[in-house]
Amino acid sequence: MTKVVCALLLIFVMAFVTQVAYGGGEGSLTPQECPGACDYRCSKADRTKKACLNFCNMCCAKCLCVPSGTYGHKEECPCYNNWKTKRGTPKCP
């Protein structure tokens, strides 16, 4: 029984830390936290890392949110997800 409680507590803490660190909700980051969140978001970008960082930081400054992970999960940040270029393609990585 104690192991189950410890496991659930650990899962809760990990989910909370991930949400706070990477902007798990709209407006949950401060502008000062954007570079760190974008460094992680763009960490697996190869040739386009500079562009990824540029657009991610621009999007984060406007939306104060960066989706978790290095790809996808944009539904976590509607502003970040819905910002489009003039061509209608996603502006935020």
Task: Return the percentage of the chain with pLDDT > 90, whole number.
Answer: 66
pLDDT of 5 higher than 70:
no
pLDDT tens digits along 29-67? 999 999 999 999 999 998 899 999 999 999 999 999 999
The structure's pTM equals 0.70
Q: In whole angstroms, give the CA distance from residue 19 to residue 67.
A: 9
CA quadruple 84, 40, 32, 30: dihedral sign? positive
pLDDT at 17 over 90: no
